[in-house]
Amino acid sequence: MLGIIGAMDVEVNSLKSIVTNKTSKYFADIEFIIGEIESSKVCIAQCSPGKVNAALCTQLMIDKFDIDNIINIGVGCSLDESVVIKDIVVASDLCQYDYDITALGEEWGLINGIDKVKIETSCELSKKLEETAKSCGYNVHRGTIASGDTFIGSKEQKKRINNHFSAVCGEMEGGAIAQVCYINRVPFAVLRTISDGGDENVQINYPEFKAIAAKISSEILLSYLRQ
């Protein structure tokens, strides 16, 4: 069964609406929709924004259902000049830019327990998503996605994250989902459509492009499931 996680209703509602043989279960106030899309067995959940919400949802999904792989879809901001609004980023790996124990002499972003800064995605899943997005006509980037519990909205913050992690996209869930999947040995992939530039124009661009970007992500995943 494929697990599908999005943070906001706009990222998963269109997929939920086409699930057949549908059942619904609740754990920790999170609704999990189980059924089929295009003959593929799926479990879909909206985790709500933020790393704790994402980690909770991911662990529950793995514990409660027969999950083979997880794909996290949604929107994110650009952290690189070559990545623009409506572009697609398929993560090669993920980091958590707000995980900072440098005061103890450790590298910025090093995660205790797994001793990693970046967690690699499934090559197979990511390659298929990349190929699907390209076949849909989108401009696709492969690279590091940086996650944190802040909404990136300044050129200074954007530059600092990009310079250290070489990240091309920023968001608030993928790194936590990656950590949970890595610990549980569940293959995963993360796809983001760019909704804003992660700069001082975010209050203008994000509201305007959020729904459009979310729709693109769900359309790509639907095309992936049709293969």
Radius of gyration (C-alpha) of the chain in whole angstroms: 16
Identify whether 191 is part of a domain. yes
pLDDT in tens, the chain (227 residues): 999 999 999 999 999 999 999 999 999 999 999 999 999 999 999 999 999 999 999 999 999 999 999 999 999 999 999 999 999 999 999 999 999 999 999 999 999 999 999 999 999 999 999 999 999 999 999 999 999 999 999 999 999 999 999 999 999 999 999 999 999 999 999 999 999 999 999 988 998 899 999 999 999 999 999 98
DSSP letters, the chain, are -EEEEESSHHHHHHHHTT-EEEEEEEETTEEEEEEEETTEEEEEEE--SSHHHHHHHHHHHHHHS--SEEEEEEEEEE-STT--TT-EEEEEEEEETT---GGGTPPTTPBTTTTBS-EEPPHHHHHHHHHHHHHTT--EEEEEEEE-SS----HHHHHHHHHHH-EEEEESSHHHHHHHHHHHT--EEEEEEEEE-SSTTHHHHHHHHHHHHHHHHHHHHHHHHT-
Identify whether 227 is part of a domain. no
Identify whether 154 is part of a domain. yes
Name the active-site residue from 11, 93, 171, 199: 11
Identify whether 193 is part of a domain. yes
In DSSP terms, 69 is beta-bridged to: 2
User: Is residue 120 annotated as a catalytic residue, yes or no?
Assistant: no
Name the active-site residue from 87, 130, 196, 199: 196
Identify whether 188 is part of a domain. yes
Identify whether 35 is part of a domain. yes
Give residue 137's domain range.
2-222
Q: How many domains does the chain have?
A: 1
Identify whether 86 is part of a domain. yes
User: Is residue 11 annotated as a catalytic residue, yes or no?
Assistant: yes
CATH code for the domain in which residue 206 is found: 3.40.50.1580
Identify whether 34 is part of a domain. yes
